[in-house]
Structure 1
Amino acid sequence: MIIDALRNYIRNCPHLDTFNNAIKVNVNYLEGNPDTYSIEEVPINPIVRKYVNGDSIRQYAFIFTSREPYGIDVLQNIDNSGFYEKFADWIEEQNNKDIFPLLDNGLEPLSIEVTSTGYAFAVTEDTAQFQIQLRLKYLKKKGIN
């Protein structure tokens, strides 16, 4: 599954915090605790281009989100923003080096890119949900499910 491949890929980001020596990245569920992460699918038309032979270029849009400590501490809020800058840089570096998620079923990754900056999405008194939007483009050959 694409989302599992993305989850495993993002777990390799050196900027993520570790919990008990394992980086926990959920799928479609963000815990209420600070320093938690999730990947969430975004509805999008998956087909970018169809070829006469039945192959197609496709896209998979998703959000990487986290819950972070938040409040009047300016340094903490700067650190939160800085994390998303580093994360975006890491994604760009991986893309430039052709290091992509390992997709199943003969799907061939072509690119992974950040499509928005990181931003605070939902704020409470002491935490905030931050997120950044991304897109994976890949080749799907005819006859591959």
Structure 2
Amino acid sequence: MTVSESVIRWLKGFDASRLKSINTDMLAADVKSYALIKEPVQNVQSFLSGRKVITDHFTLMARLASKTNGTRIENSGFGEALADWIGVQNAAGNYPAVENAKVQEISVTTPFYLGQSEENDSLYQMTVAIKYMKEN
């Protein structure tokens, strides 16, 4: 299982009914679609022992209905609640299960925001960072 798959499975713990289908690396054109897209940035600290501490960044994208102000407020509430949930899980040490690695931290590095708006729906996004250690 990839790191991305691990994060997707973990995110479903927030709201499995709403986040039941999160695509990898590509957002569908359908309203109420979600995707987790790996950013082209990876921070790696290498140690003489062969141990590596890696930080990967992922953008969670959501295409949501946004025609009315009330709907946009609901979307913002969803994003705030998800960011709060991620913070609570991190503080409690409830991390995604990454194969052959020990997760040290997961956090929101860019809060949920409206990135692009169309006539009836909008593209929202947030960035999540996951830091984990791998032994060689």
TM-score range, shorter chain: over 0.9
Give the match for residue 38 of structure 1. 35
1:78 aligned partner, one-letter code: I
In the alignment, is the contact (CA less than 8 A) between 1:25 and 1:37 conserved in 2?
yes
Which protein is richer in strand relative to its size? 2
**What is the aligned counterpart of 1:24 among 21, 24, 30?**
21
**What is the aligned counterpart of 1:121 among 99, 112, 115?**
115
User: How far off is 1:117 after superposition?
Assistant: 1.1
**What is the aligned counterpart of 1:83 among 67, 72, 78?**
78
User: How far off is 1:93 after superposition?
Assistant: 0.7
Two-structure CA RMSD over aligned residues (Å): 1.4
Unaligned runs of 5+ in 2: none
Query: In 1, distance between residues paired with 2:132 and 2:60?
Result: 19
Unaligned runs of 5+ in 1: none
Give the match for residue 60 of structure 1. 56
Residues 87-113 of structure 1 show CA distances to partners (whole Å, capped at 9, x for unaligned) of 000100110110111111x21111100
**SS of alignment partner, residue 116 of structure 1:** strand
In the alignment, is the contact (CA less than 8 A) between 2:46 and 2:52 conserved in 1?
yes
Q: Which has the larger radius of gyration?
A: 1
In the alignment, is the contact (CA less than 8 A) between 1:119 and 1:132 conserved in 2?
yes
In the alignment, is the contact (CA less than 8 A) between 1:62 and 1:134 conserved in 2?
yes
2:8 aligned with 1:7, yes or no?
A: yes
Query: Identity over aligned residues, as a percent?
Result: 21
In the alignment, is the contact (CA less than 8 A) between 2:42 and 2:57 conserved in 1?
no
* Runs of at least 4 residues off by over 3 Å: none
1:43 aligned partner, one-letter code: P
2:59 aligned with 1:74, yes or no?
A: no
Q: Give the aligned length.
A: 135
TM score, norm. by length of structure 1: 0.88
TM score, norm. by length of structure 2: 0.93
Give the match for residue 129 of structure 2. 135
